[in-house]
A and B are shown apart, each in its own frame.
Chain A
Protein backbone atom coordinates (compact mmCIF):
# COMPACT_ATOMS: atom_id res chain seq x y z
CA UNK A 1 0.00 0.00 0.00
CA UNK A 2 2.85 2.36 0.76
CA UNK A 3 4.34 1.78 -2.69
CA UNK A 4 0.98 2.51 -4.27
CA UNK A 5 0.64 5.76 -2.35
CA UNK A 6 4.18 6.76 -3.31
CA UNK A 7 3.36 6.07 -6.95
CA UNK A 8 0.15 8.11 -6.70
CA UNK A 9 2.04 10.98 -5.10
CA UNK A 10 4.64 10.73 -7.88
CA UNK A 11 2.11 11.04 -10.68
CA UNK A 12 0.14 13.82 -9.04
CA UNK A 13 3.23 15.86 -8.22
CA UNK A 14 4.19 15.45 -11.86
CA UNK A 15 0.86 16.88 -12.84
CA UNK A 16 0.90 20.48 -14.01
CA UNK A 17 -2.77 20.81 -13.08
CA UNK A 18 -1.93 20.40 -9.38
CA UNK A 19 0.84 22.98 -9.38
CA UNK A 20 -1.18 25.35 -11.56
CA UNK A 21 -3.97 25.21 -8.99
CA UNK A 22 -1.62 25.86 -6.06
CA UNK A 23 0.20 28.68 -7.80
CA UNK A 24 -2.91 30.38 -9.17
CA UNK A 25 -4.73 30.17 -5.83
CA UNK A 26 -1.67 31.49 -4.01
CA UNK A 27 -1.36 34.36 -6.46
CA UNK A 28 -5.05 35.13 -6.01
CA UNK A 29 -4.54 35.46 -2.26
CA UNK A 30 -1.79 38.00 -2.89
CA UNK A 31 -4.05 39.83 -5.33
CA UNK A 32 -6.80 39.81 -2.70
CA UNK A 33 -4.48 41.29 -0.11
CA UNK A 34 -3.33 43.98 -2.52
CA UNK A 35 -6.94 44.74 -3.48
CA UNK A 36 -7.88 45.05 0.17
CA UNK A 37 -4.99 47.40 0.73
CA UNK A 38 -5.73 49.73 -2.16
CA UNK A 39 -9.53 49.72 -2.04
CA UNK A 40 -10.80 52.83 -0.29
CA UNK A 41 -13.28 52.22 2.54
CA UNK A 42 -11.92 48.75 3.36
CA UNK A 43 -11.03 48.87 7.05
CA UNK A 44 -8.09 46.54 7.28
CA UNK A 45 -6.38 47.26 10.56
CA UNK A 46 -3.75 44.63 10.11
CA UNK A 47 -3.17 40.97 9.57
CA UNK A 48 -5.65 40.19 12.37
CA UNK A 49 -8.45 41.07 9.97
CA UNK A 50 -7.14 38.43 7.60
CA UNK A 51 -7.88 35.83 10.25
CA UNK A 52 -11.50 36.94 10.19
CA UNK A 53 -11.50 36.77 6.40
CA UNK A 54 -9.91 33.33 6.57
CA UNK A 55 -12.61 32.11 8.92
CA UNK A 56 -15.24 33.50 6.57
CA UNK A 57 -13.79 31.43 3.74
CA UNK A 58 -13.88 28.10 5.57
CA UNK A 59 -16.64 26.84 3.24
CA UNK A 60 -14.59 27.34 0.08
CA UNK A 61 -12.33 24.28 0.43
CA UNK A 62 -15.43 22.08 0.12
CA UNK A 63 -15.44 22.98 -3.56
CA UNK A 64 -11.67 23.20 -3.97
CA UNK A 65 -11.08 19.60 -2.85
CA UNK A 66 -13.08 18.58 -5.92
CA UNK A 67 -9.95 19.28 -7.94
CA UNK A 68 -7.88 16.85 -5.87
CA UNK A 69 -10.55 14.16 -5.94
CA UNK A 70 -10.70 14.54 -9.72
CA UNK A 71 -6.92 14.29 -10.08
CA UNK A 72 -6.53 11.30 -7.79
CA UNK A 73 -9.68 9.25 -8.43
CA UNK A 74 -12.12 10.51 -11.07
CA UNK A 75 -9.52 10.85 -13.81
CA UNK A 76 -8.40 7.27 -13.32
CA UNK A 77 -11.94 6.21 -14.16
CA UNK A 78 -11.78 8.32 -17.30
CA UNK A 79 -8.33 7.07 -18.32
CA UNK A 80 -9.17 3.44 -17.41
CA UNK A 81 -5.92 3.13 -15.49
CA UNK A 82 -7.34 1.57 -12.33
CA UNK A 83 -7.05 -1.84 -13.94
CA UNK A 84 -3.25 -1.60 -13.92
CA UNK A 85 -3.05 -1.49 -10.13
CA UNK A 86 -5.67 -4.16 -9.70
CA UNK A 87 -4.19 -6.61 -12.18
CA UNK A 88 -0.92 -6.26 -10.27
CA UNK A 89 -2.68 -7.55 -7.15
CA UNK A 90 -3.18 -4.41 -5.10
CA UNK A 91 -6.34 -5.10 -3.15
CA UNK A 92 -9.40 -3.00 -3.83
CA UNK A 93 -9.63 -1.83 -0.22
CA UNK A 94 -6.03 -0.68 -0.27
CA UNK A 95 -6.68 1.23 -3.48
CA UNK A 96 -9.60 3.07 -1.88
CA UNK A 97 -7.75 3.86 1.35
CA UNK A 98 -4.68 4.97 -0.57
CA UNK A 99 -6.73 7.30 -2.72
CA UNK A 100 -8.31 8.90 0.31
CA UNK A 101 -4.96 9.41 1.99
CA UNK A 102 -3.26 10.78 -1.12
CA UNK A 103 -6.17 13.16 -1.78
CA UNK A 104 -5.96 14.40 1.80
CA UNK A 105 -2.18 14.83 1.54
CA UNK A 106 -2.51 16.87 -1.65
CA UNK A 107 -5.24 19.00 -0.04
CA UNK A 108 -3.25 19.57 3.15
CA UNK A 109 -0.07 20.40 1.25
CA UNK A 110 -1.81 22.93 -0.97
CA UNK A 111 -3.63 24.40 2.05
CA UNK A 112 -0.32 24.90 3.84
CA UNK A 113 1.19 26.63 0.80
CA UNK A 114 -1.85 28.80 0.14
CA UNK A 115 -2.35 29.82 3.77
CA UNK A 116 1.35 30.59 4.14
CA UNK A 117 1.24 32.84 1.08
CA UNK A 118 -2.02 34.44 2.24
CA UNK A 119 -0.88 35.29 5.74
CA UNK A 120 2.71 35.84 4.73
CA UNK A 121 1.83 38.39 2.05
CA UNK A 122 -0.77 39.85 4.40
CA UNK A 123 1.85 40.36 7.11
CA UNK A 124 4.07 42.16 4.65
CA UNK A 125 1.29 44.27 3.16
CA UNK A 126 -0.64 45.13 6.33
CA UNK A 127 1.88 44.53 9.06
CA UNK A 128 1.32 42.73 12.38
CA UNK A 129 -1.19 44.73 14.41
CA UNK A 130 -1.83 44.66 18.18
CA UNK A 131 -4.93 42.47 17.75
CA UNK A 132 -2.74 39.53 16.79
CA UNK A 133 -2.52 37.50 19.96
CA UNK A 134 -2.63 33.94 21.24
CA UNK A 135 -6.43 33.99 21.54
CA UNK A 136 -6.74 34.90 17.89
CA UNK A 137 -4.44 32.05 16.82
CA UNK A 138 -6.23 29.63 19.11
CA UNK A 139 -9.67 30.57 17.83
CA UNK A 140 -8.57 30.34 14.21
CA UNK A 141 -6.74 27.06 14.77
CA UNK A 142 -9.69 25.41 16.48
CA UNK A 143 -12.06 26.46 13.73
CA UNK A 144 -9.55 25.36 11.10
CA UNK A 145 -9.05 21.95 12.70
CA UNK A 146 -12.77 21.41 13.14
CA UNK A 147 -13.32 22.45 9.52
CA UNK A 148 -10.59 20.02 8.44
CA UNK A 149 -12.65 17.08 9.63
CA UNK A 150 -15.55 18.38 7.54
CA UNK A 151 -13.27 18.80 4.52
CA UNK A 152 -12.07 15.21 5.05
CA UNK A 153 -15.72 14.21 5.10
CA UNK A 154 -16.11 15.98 1.75
CA UNK A 155 -13.09 14.11 0.38
CA UNK A 156 -14.54 10.74 1.35
CA UNK A 157 -17.97 11.68 -0.01
CA UNK A 158 -16.42 12.94 -3.22
CA UNK A 159 -14.21 9.87 -3.61
CA UNK A 160 -17.27 7.66 -3.19
CA UNK A 161 -19.08 9.58 -5.92
CA UNK A 162 -16.01 9.46 -8.15
CA UNK A 163 -15.85 5.67 -7.81
CA UNK A 164 -19.55 5.31 -8.59
CA UNK A 165 -19.63 7.69 -11.55
CA UNK A 166 -17.67 6.43 -14.53
CA UNK A 167 -17.68 9.84 -16.17
CA UNK A 168 -15.67 12.45 -14.29
CA UNK A 169 -17.71 15.34 -15.76
CA UNK A 170 -20.93 13.96 -14.28
CA UNK A 171 -19.11 13.36 -11.01
CA UNK A 172 -18.00 17.01 -10.92
CA UNK A 173 -21.49 18.37 -11.51
CA UNK A 174 -23.04 15.99 -8.99
CA UNK A 175 -20.48 16.86 -6.33
CA UNK A 176 -20.87 20.62 -6.79
CA UNK A 177 -24.64 20.33 -7.08
CA UNK A 178 -24.90 18.44 -3.80
CA UNK A 179 -23.14 21.20 -1.88
CA UNK A 180 -24.83 24.04 -3.71
CA UNK A 181 -28.42 22.86 -3.71
CA UNK A 182 -29.04 20.08 -1.20
CA UNK A 183 -29.16 22.49 1.73
CA UNK A 184 -31.74 24.67 0.04
CA UNK A 185 -33.83 21.67 -0.94
CA UNK A 186 -33.84 20.40 2.65
CA UNK A 187 -34.73 23.90 3.86
CA UNK A 188 -37.74 23.99 1.58
CA UNK A 189 -38.77 20.48 2.63
CA UNK A 190 -38.48 21.50 6.26
CA UNK A 191 -40.72 24.49 5.79
CA UNK A 192 -43.30 23.05 3.45
CA UNK A 193 -43.33 19.27 3.94
CA UNK A 194 -42.10 18.03 7.30
CA UNK A 195 -40.12 19.84 9.97
CA UNK A 196 -38.06 16.72 10.74
CA UNK A 197 -36.04 17.39 7.56
CA UNK A 198 -34.27 19.92 9.77
CA UNK A 199 -32.28 17.07 11.28
CA UNK A 200 -30.96 16.13 7.86
CA UNK A 201 -30.15 19.77 7.18
CA UNK A 202 -28.21 20.03 10.44
CA UNK A 203 -25.82 17.23 9.50
CA UNK A 204 -24.90 18.62 6.12
CA UNK A 205 -21.25 19.57 5.76
CA UNK A 206 -22.24 23.03 4.51
CA UNK A 207 -24.49 23.56 7.55
CA UNK A 208 -21.70 22.65 9.95
CA UNK A 209 -19.22 24.89 8.16
CA UNK A 210 -21.70 27.75 8.41
CA UNK A 211 -21.76 27.16 12.17
CA UNK A 212 -17.95 27.24 12.33
CA UNK A 213 -17.91 30.53 10.47
CA UNK A 214 -20.24 32.28 12.94
CA UNK A 215 -18.85 34.92 15.29
CA UNK A 216 -19.61 33.06 18.49
CA UNK A 217 -18.92 29.38 18.72
CA UNK A 218 -19.54 27.05 21.63
CA UNK A 219 -17.56 23.94 22.49
CA UNK A 220 -20.56 21.70 21.90
CA UNK A 221 -20.97 23.17 18.40
CA UNK A 222 -17.31 22.44 17.69
CA UNK A 223 -17.63 18.90 19.02
CA UNK A 224 -20.75 18.30 16.93
CA UNK A 225 -19.07 19.62 13.78
CA UNK A 226 -16.11 17.29 14.33
CA UNK A 227 -18.48 14.39 14.98
CA UNK A 228 -20.34 15.09 11.74
CA UNK A 229 -17.07 15.28 9.80
CA UNK A 230 -15.75 12.03 11.26
CA UNK A 231 -19.08 10.32 10.64
CA UNK A 232 -18.92 11.26 6.98
CA UNK A 233 -15.36 9.91 6.85
CA UNK A 234 -16.39 6.57 8.35
CA UNK A 235 -19.63 6.16 6.40
CA UNK A 236 -18.28 7.08 3.00
CA UNK A 237 -14.94 5.29 3.41
CA UNK A 238 -16.77 2.07 4.21
CA UNK A 239 -19.31 2.71 1.44
CA UNK A 240 -16.49 3.26 -1.04
CA UNK A 241 -14.79 0.02 -0.04
CA UNK A 242 -18.01 -1.97 -0.21
CA UNK A 243 -19.01 -0.53 -3.57
CA UNK A 244 -15.58 -0.86 -5.11
CA UNK A 245 -15.14 -4.43 -3.90
CA UNK A 246 -17.85 -5.55 -6.31
CA UNK A 247 -17.29 -3.14 -9.17
CA UNK A 248 -16.27 -4.44 -12.56
CA UNK A 249 -13.24 -2.44 -13.54
CA UNK A 250 -12.90 -1.52 -17.18
Chain B
Protein backbone atom coordinates (compact mmCIF):
# COMPACT_ATOMS: atom_id res chain seq x y z
CA UNK B 1 0.00 0.00 0.00
CA UNK B 2 1.56 3.30 -1.05
CA UNK B 3 2.44 5.96 1.50
CA UNK B 4 0.17 8.96 2.08
CA UNK B 5 2.17 12.00 1.08
CA UNK B 6 -0.42 14.67 1.75
CA UNK B 7 -3.64 14.69 3.65
CA UNK B 8 -5.85 17.57 4.68
CA UNK B 9 -8.42 17.28 7.44
CA UNK B 10 -11.36 19.68 7.32
CA UNK B 11 -9.20 22.46 5.99
CA UNK B 12 -10.84 25.87 6.10
CA UNK B 13 -9.71 29.29 4.95
CA UNK B 14 -11.80 32.33 5.58
CA UNK B 15 -11.11 35.89 4.48
CA UNK B 16 -13.37 38.02 6.61
CA UNK B 17 -16.82 36.58 5.95
CA UNK B 18 -15.84 34.91 2.73
CA UNK B 19 -15.18 31.18 2.81
CA UNK B 20 -12.44 30.48 0.30
CA UNK B 21 -11.86 26.85 1.28
CA UNK B 22 -14.54 24.96 3.15
CA UNK B 23 -13.73 21.74 5.03
CA UNK B 24 -11.62 20.25 2.30
CA UNK B 25 -10.36 16.72 2.80
CA UNK B 26 -7.92 15.46 0.20
CA UNK B 27 -5.55 12.54 0.29
CA UNK B 28 -2.65 12.07 -2.08
CA UNK B 29 -0.58 8.95 -2.12
CA UNK B 30 2.98 8.44 -3.23
CA UNK B 31 3.24 8.34 -7.01
CA UNK B 32 -0.10 10.07 -7.65
CA UNK B 33 -0.51 12.84 -10.15
CA UNK B 34 -3.36 14.72 -8.54
CA UNK B 35 -5.31 17.08 -10.76
CA UNK B 36 -7.01 19.92 -8.92
CA UNK B 37 -9.89 21.23 -10.99
CA UNK B 38 -12.12 24.20 -10.39
CA UNK B 39 -13.42 27.43 -11.87
CA UNK B 40 -11.75 30.77 -11.25
CA UNK B 41 -12.18 31.57 -7.59
CA UNK B 42 -12.97 27.99 -6.65
CA UNK B 43 -10.20 27.92 -4.06
CA UNK B 44 -7.48 25.96 -5.86
CA UNK B 45 -4.70 28.49 -5.34
CA UNK B 46 -5.79 29.16 -1.76
CA UNK B 47 -5.60 25.44 -1.03
CA UNK B 48 -2.14 25.20 -2.57
CA UNK B 49 -1.00 28.26 -0.65
CA UNK B 50 -2.03 26.62 2.60
CA UNK B 51 -0.21 23.43 1.71
CA UNK B 52 2.95 25.38 0.87
CA UNK B 53 2.72 27.54 3.99
CA UNK B 54 2.15 30.84 2.22
CA UNK B 55 -1.09 31.34 4.05
CA UNK B 56 -2.25 29.96 7.35
CA UNK B 57 -5.42 27.88 7.56
CA UNK B 58 -8.32 29.27 9.54
CA UNK B 59 -9.12 25.78 10.76
CA UNK B 60 -8.19 22.22 10.04
CA UNK B 61 -5.02 20.28 9.64
CA UNK B 62 -2.43 19.59 7.00
CA UNK B 63 -0.47 16.39 7.16
CA UNK B 64 2.55 16.37 4.88
CA UNK B 65 4.88 13.38 4.87
CA UNK B 66 3.35 12.45 8.19
CA UNK B 67 4.05 15.82 9.83
CA UNK B 68 1.36 18.09 11.21
CA UNK B 69 3.14 20.59 13.47
CA UNK B 70 4.39 23.93 12.15
CA UNK B 71 8.03 23.02 12.72
CA UNK B 72 7.49 19.58 11.23
CA UNK B 73 5.74 20.98 8.18
CA UNK B 74 8.54 23.49 7.61
CA UNK B 75 11.05 20.68 7.79
CA UNK B 76 9.28 18.40 5.30
CA UNK B 77 8.54 21.23 2.89
CA UNK B 78 12.22 20.96 2.04
CA UNK B 79 11.21 17.77 0.24
CA UNK B 80 8.85 19.70 -2.02
CA UNK B 81 9.13 22.00 -5.01
CA UNK B 82 6.39 24.46 -5.84
CA UNK B 83 5.05 26.97 -8.34
CA UNK B 84 2.22 28.95 -6.78
CA UNK B 85 0.55 31.61 -8.94
CA UNK B 86 3.02 33.31 -11.28
CA UNK B 87 6.62 32.13 -11.00
CA UNK B 88 8.60 34.90 -9.31
CA UNK B 89 12.30 35.39 -9.65
CA UNK B 90 14.84 38.16 -9.36
CA UNK B 91 14.44 40.25 -12.51
CA UNK B 92 18.07 41.40 -12.57
CA UNK B 93 19.49 37.86 -12.57
CA UNK B 94 19.74 35.38 -15.44
CA UNK B 95 18.08 31.95 -15.37
CA UNK B 96 21.31 30.30 -14.26
CA UNK B 97 21.95 32.81 -11.48
CA UNK B 98 18.38 32.61 -10.26
CA UNK B 99 18.72 28.83 -10.01
CA UNK B 100 22.12 29.21 -8.36
CA UNK B 101 20.41 31.33 -5.71
CA UNK B 102 17.95 28.50 -5.06
CA UNK B 103 20.68 25.88 -5.11
CA UNK B 104 22.55 27.74 -2.35
CA UNK B 105 19.36 28.43 -0.43
CA UNK B 106 18.39 24.76 -0.45
CA UNK B 107 21.86 23.53 0.37
CA UNK B 108 22.08 21.43 -2.80
CA UNK B 109 25.60 20.31 -3.47
CA UNK B 110 26.99 20.39 -7.01
CA UNK B 111 26.24 22.92 -9.71
CA UNK B 112 25.39 20.17 -12.23
CA UNK B 113 21.82 20.19 -10.95
CA UNK B 114 21.36 23.62 -12.53
CA UNK B 115 22.45 22.45 -15.98
CA UNK B 116 20.24 19.41 -15.61
CA UNK B 117 17.18 21.43 -14.60
CA UNK B 118 17.66 23.99 -17.37
CA UNK B 119 18.07 21.21 -19.94
CA UNK B 120 14.93 19.42 -18.78
CA UNK B 121 12.79 22.54 -19.21
CA UNK B 122 14.47 23.71 -22.43
CA UNK B 123 16.20 26.82 -21.08
CA UNK B 124 19.84 25.82 -21.57
CA UNK B 125 20.46 28.54 -24.15
CA UNK B 126 19.26 31.65 -22.33
CA UNK B 127 22.82 32.73 -21.48
CA UNK B 128 22.98 36.05 -19.68
CA UNK B 129 19.43 37.09 -20.54
CA UNK B 130 17.86 38.55 -17.45
CA UNK B 131 14.62 37.20 -16.07
CA UNK B 132 12.86 40.51 -16.63
CA UNK B 133 13.31 39.98 -20.38
CA UNK B 134 11.81 36.48 -20.41
CA UNK B 135 8.55 35.68 -22.17
CA UNK B 136 5.66 34.25 -20.14
CA UNK B 137 6.45 30.75 -21.37
CA UNK B 138 10.10 31.08 -20.40
CA UNK B 139 9.10 32.29 -16.94
CA UNK B 140 6.87 29.25 -16.50
CA UNK B 141 9.68 26.96 -17.58
CA UNK B 142 12.09 28.56 -15.14
CA UNK B 143 9.49 28.16 -12.42
CA UNK B 144 9.36 24.47 -13.18
CA UNK B 145 13.16 24.27 -13.24
CA UNK B 146 13.34 25.80 -9.77
CA UNK B 147 10.64 23.45 -8.52
CA UNK B 148 12.43 20.31 -9.71
CA UNK B 149 15.86 21.46 -8.55
CA UNK B 150 17.31 18.84 -6.27
CA UNK B 151 14.68 16.20 -7.16
CA UNK B 152 11.91 16.87 -4.64
CA UNK B 153 9.56 14.09 -3.54
CA UNK B 154 6.48 16.24 -4.12
CA UNK B 155 5.82 18.84 -6.80
CA UNK B 156 3.07 21.40 -6.22
CA UNK B 157 2.24 23.12 -9.50
CA UNK B 158 -0.34 25.88 -9.81
CA UNK B 159 -1.24 26.11 -13.49
CA UNK B 160 2.25 25.32 -14.76
CA UNK B 161 1.33 25.37 -18.45
CA UNK B 162 -0.03 28.92 -18.50
CA UNK B 163 1.57 30.90 -21.28
CA UNK B 164 3.11 27.87 -22.98
CA UNK B 165 2.65 27.22 -26.67
CA UNK B 166 1.30 23.81 -27.80
CA UNK B 167 4.81 22.38 -28.20
CA UNK B 168 5.75 23.61 -24.77
CA UNK B 169 2.64 22.07 -23.25
CA UNK B 170 3.53 18.69 -24.73
CA UNK B 171 7.12 18.99 -23.51
CA UNK B 172 6.09 19.84 -19.97
CA UNK B 173 3.49 17.09 -19.94
CA UNK B 174 6.10 14.55 -21.00
CA UNK B 175 8.56 15.90 -18.46
CA UNK B 176 6.05 15.57 -15.62
CA UNK B 177 5.15 12.03 -16.67
CA UNK B 178 8.83 11.15 -16.85
CA UNK B 179 9.55 12.59 -13.39
CA UNK B 180 6.57 10.70 -12.01
CA UNK B 181 7.48 7.37 -13.58
CA UNK B 182 11.26 7.41 -13.32
CA UNK B 183 11.75 9.23 -10.03
CA UNK B 184 8.40 8.45 -8.40
CA UNK B 185 7.79 12.15 -7.81
CA UNK B 186 4.26 12.80 -6.57
CA UNK B 187 2.62 15.74 -8.30
CA UNK B 188 -0.27 18.05 -7.45
CA UNK B 189 -1.25 20.09 -10.45
CA UNK B 190 -4.01 22.61 -10.88
CA UNK B 191 -4.98 23.58 -14.36
CA UNK B 192 -7.68 25.29 -16.36
CA UNK B 193 -6.91 23.14 -19.38
CA UNK B 194 -8.88 20.06 -18.47
CA UNK B 195 -8.11 18.21 -21.65
CA UNK B 196 -4.41 18.47 -20.85
CA UNK B 197 -4.94 17.40 -17.24
CA UNK B 198 -6.86 14.35 -18.35
CA UNK B 199 -3.74 13.12 -20.14
CA UNK B 200 -1.60 12.94 -17.04
CA UNK B 201 -3.62 12.94 -13.83
CA UNK B 202 -4.22 9.70 -11.96
CA UNK B 203 -6.56 11.29 -9.46
CA UNK B 204 -8.83 14.32 -9.53
CA UNK B 205 -10.27 16.73 -7.02
CA UNK B 206 -13.14 18.96 -8.09
CA UNK B 207 -13.35 22.23 -6.20
CA UNK B 208 -16.34 24.53 -6.43
CA UNK B 209 -16.81 27.67 -4.32
CA UNK B 210 -14.36 26.34 -1.75
CA UNK B 211 -15.98 22.92 -1.44
CA UNK B 212 -14.37 19.71 -2.58
CA UNK B 213 -17.39 18.29 -4.34
CA UNK B 214 -15.78 15.14 -5.62
CA UNK B 215 -12.54 13.26 -5.47
CA UNK B 216 -11.99 10.31 -7.75
CA UNK B 217 -9.36 8.32 -9.55
CA UNK B 218 -8.78 8.42 -13.28
CA UNK B 219 -10.31 4.96 -13.49
CA UNK B 220 -13.47 6.20 -11.82
CA UNK B 221 -13.58 9.16 -14.17
CA UNK B 222 -13.27 6.82 -17.10
CA UNK B 223 -16.22 4.87 -15.90
CA UNK B 224 -18.26 7.98 -15.32
CA UNK B 225 -17.27 9.50 -18.65
CA UNK B 226 -17.57 6.21 -20.35
CA UNK B 227 -18.87 5.52 -23.77
CA UNK B 228 -22.53 4.90 -24.36
CA UNK B 229 -25.22 4.77 -26.99
CA UNK B 230 -27.35 7.92 -26.79
CA UNK B 231 -30.93 7.19 -27.80
CA UNK B 232 -33.44 9.94 -28.44
CA UNK B 233 -36.92 8.39 -28.30
CA UNK B 234 -40.52 9.49 -28.01
CA UNK B 235 -41.20 7.49 -24.87
CA UNK B 236 -38.23 6.63 -22.66
CA UNK B 237 -40.30 4.61 -20.24
CA UNK B 238 -41.60 2.28 -22.91
CA UNK B 239 -38.11 2.09 -24.43
CA UNK B 240 -36.56 1.02 -21.14
CA UNK B 241 -38.95 -1.92 -20.97
CA UNK B 242 -37.88 -3.07 -24.42
CA UNK B 243 -34.21 -2.64 -23.51
CA UNK B 244 -34.62 -4.90 -20.51
CA UNK B 245 -36.93 -7.52 -21.96
CA UNK B 246 -35.79 -7.75 -25.57
CA UNK B 247 -32.14 -6.72 -25.39
CA UNK B 248 -31.54 -8.15 -21.90
CA UNK B 249 -29.62 -5.05 -20.93
CA UNK B 250 -29.65 -3.58 -17.47
CA UNK B 251 -26.81 -1.12 -17.73
CA UNK B 252 -28.60 1.97 -18.98
CA UNK B 253 -29.66 5.36 -17.72
CA UNK B 254 -32.87 7.25 -18.37
CA UNK B 255 -31.74 10.87 -18.64
CA UNK B 256 -35.15 12.41 -19.21
CA UNK B 257 -38.48 11.47 -20.82
CA UNK B 258 -36.88 11.41 -24.26
CA UNK B 259 -33.30 10.29 -23.73
CA UNK B 260 -31.71 7.04 -22.70
CA UNK B 261 -28.01 6.18 -22.41
CA UNK B 262 -27.24 2.55 -23.05
CA UNK B 263 -23.87 1.35 -21.77
CA UNK B 264 -24.07 -2.05 -23.42
CA UNK B 265 -24.10 -3.04 -27.10
CA UNK B 266 -22.36 0.28 -27.89
CA UNK B 267 -20.49 -1.19 -30.83
CA UNK B 268 -23.55 -2.89 -32.31
CA UNK B 269 -26.01 -0.02 -32.60
CA UNK B 270 -27.72 -1.69 -35.53
CA UNK B 271 -28.92 -4.49 -33.23
CA UNK B 272 -30.33 -1.98 -30.78
CA UNK B 273 -32.02 0.10 -33.47
CA UNK B 274 -33.60 -2.91 -35.15
CA UNK B 275 -34.91 -4.25 -31.84
CA UNK B 276 -36.43 -0.92 -30.87
CA UNK B 277 -38.04 -0.39 -34.26
CA UNK B 278 -39.39 -3.96 -34.31
CA UNK B 279 -41.03 -3.22 -30.96
CA UNK B 280 -42.68 -0.05 -32.29
CA UNK B 281 -40.45 2.34 -30.42
CA UNK B 282 -40.33 5.73 -32.14
CA UNK B 283 -36.60 6.44 -32.36
CA UNK B 284 -35.45 9.91 -33.36
CA UNK B 285 -31.70 9.32 -33.19
CA UNK B 286 -29.03 6.92 -31.98
CA UNK B 287 -25.33 7.69 -31.77
CA UNK B 288 -22.24 6.75 -29.79
CA UNK B 289 -21.03 9.26 -27.22
CA UNK B 290 -18.17 9.42 -24.72
CA UNK B 291 -18.18 12.17 -22.10
CA UNK B 292 -15.08 14.31 -21.89
CA UNK B 293 -13.58 15.52 -18.65
CA UNK B 294 -14.79 19.01 -19.55
CA UNK B 295 -18.39 17.86 -19.89
CA UNK B 296 -18.15 15.89 -16.69
CA UNK B 297 -16.73 18.95 -14.94
CA UNK B 298 -19.48 21.20 -16.32
CA UNK B 299 -22.06 18.71 -15.16
CA UNK B 300 -20.62 18.73 -11.66
CA UNK B 301 -19.99 22.42 -11.19
CA UNK B 302 -21.81 24.17 -14.02
CA UNK B 303 -20.49 27.12 -16.04
CA UNK B 304 -18.42 27.27 -19.24
CA UNK B 305 -15.93 24.79 -20.55
CA UNK B 306 -12.98 26.30 -18.74
CA UNK B 307 -12.22 25.76 -15.09
Seen from chain A, the residues whose Cβ lies within 8 Å of a Cβ on chain B are 3-4, 6-7, 10-11, 14-17, 79-81, 83-91, 246, 248-250
Which A residues touch B106, using CB under 8 A? 3, 88
- In the bound assembly, the distance between CA atoms of A87 and B76 in angstroms comes to 10
Which B residues touch A248, using CB under 8 A? 49, 54-56
Map CB proximity to A onto B78-115 as digits: 1 under 8 Å, 0 otherwise: 10101011101111110001001110111100000000
Which B residues touch A79, using CB under 8 A? 88-91
Closest chain A residue to B51, Cβ basis: A87
Which B residues touch A7, using CB under 8 A? 101-102, 104-105
Which A residues touch B77, using CB under 8 A? 87-89
Interface size on B, residues (CB 8 A): 34
* Given contact pairs A83-B54, A246-B56, A88 touches B92 in the complex (Cβ within 8 A): no
- In the bound assembly, the distance between CA atoms of A51 and B78 in angstroms comes to 50
* Given contact pairs A79-B91, A87-B82, A3 touches B104 in the complex (Cβ within 8 A): yes
Minimal beta-carbon separation of B232 from chain A (angstroms): 51
Q: In residues 30-69 of chain B, which contact A (Cβ within 8 Å)?
A: 49, 52-56
Tell which of B56, B75, B86, B102 touches A89, judged by Cβ atoms closer than 8 Å. B75
Which B residues touch A83, using CB under 8 A? 52, 54, 84-85, 88
Minimal beta-carbon separation of A119 from chain B (angstroms): 32
Which A residues touch B73, using CB under 8 A? 89
Q: A17-B92, A85-B105, A86-B52 are in contact. List 7 more A-B contacts (CB 8 A).
A: A3-B107, A6-B104, A79-B88, A81-B90, A87-B80, A89-B53, A248-B49
- In the bound assembly, the distance between CA atoms of A90 and B56 in angstroms comes to 15
Map CB proximity to A onto B151-169 as digits: 1 under 8 Å, 0 otherwise: 0000010000000000000
Closest chain A residue to B97, Cβ basis: A14
Q: Does B146 contact A (CB under 8 A)?
A: yes
Minimal beta-carbon separation of A8 from chain B (angstroms): 8
- In the bound assembly, the distance between CA atoms of A14 and B101 in angstroms comes to 10
Minimal beta-carbon separation of A249 from chain B (angstroms): 5
Minimal beta-carbon separation of B62 from chain A (angstroms): 13
Minimal beta-carbon separation of B87 from chain A (angstroms): 9
Seen from chain B, the residues whose Cβ lies within 8 Å of a Cβ on chain A are 49, 52-56, 71, 73-78, 80, 82, 84-86, 88-93, 97, 100-102, 104-107, 146, 156
Which A residues touch B97, using CB under 8 A? 11, 14
CB pair B100 A87 closer than 8 Å: no
* Given contact pairs A83-B54, A89-B53, A91-B74, A10 touches B88 in the complex (Cβ within 8 A): no
Which B residues touch A91, using CB under 8 A? 71, 74
Closest chain A residue to B53, Cβ basis: A86
Which A residues touch B80, using CB under 8 A? 87-89
Which B residues touch A87, using CB under 8 A? 52-54, 77, 80, 82, 84, 156
- In the bound assembly, the distance between CA atoms of A58 and B54 in angstroms comes to 40
Which A residues touch B56, using CB under 8 A? 246, 248
Minimal beta-carbon separation of A42 from chain B (angstroms): 41
Please name 19 pairs of A and B residues whose Cβ atoms are closer than 8 Å in the assembled complex, sorted by A: A4-B105, A7-B105, A11-B93, A11-B101, A14-B93, A17-B92, A80-B88, A81-B90, A84-B102, A86-B54, A87-B77, A87-B82, A87-B156, A88-B82, A88-B105, A89-B53, A89-B76, A89-B80, A90-B105
- In the bound assembly, the distance between CA atoms of A61 and B232 in angstroms comes to 82
CB pair A249 B105 closer than 8 Å: no
CB pair B100 A10 closer than 8 Å: yes
Minimal beta-carbon separation of A63 from chain B (angstroms): 23
Which A residues touch B89, using CB under 8 A? 79, 81, 84
Tell which of A3, A14, A17, A80 touches B105, judged by Cβ atoms closer than 8 Å. A3
7 smallest CB-CB distances across A and B, nearest first, come from: A89-B77, A7-B105, A87-B52, A80-B88, A7-B104, A87-B82, A89-B74
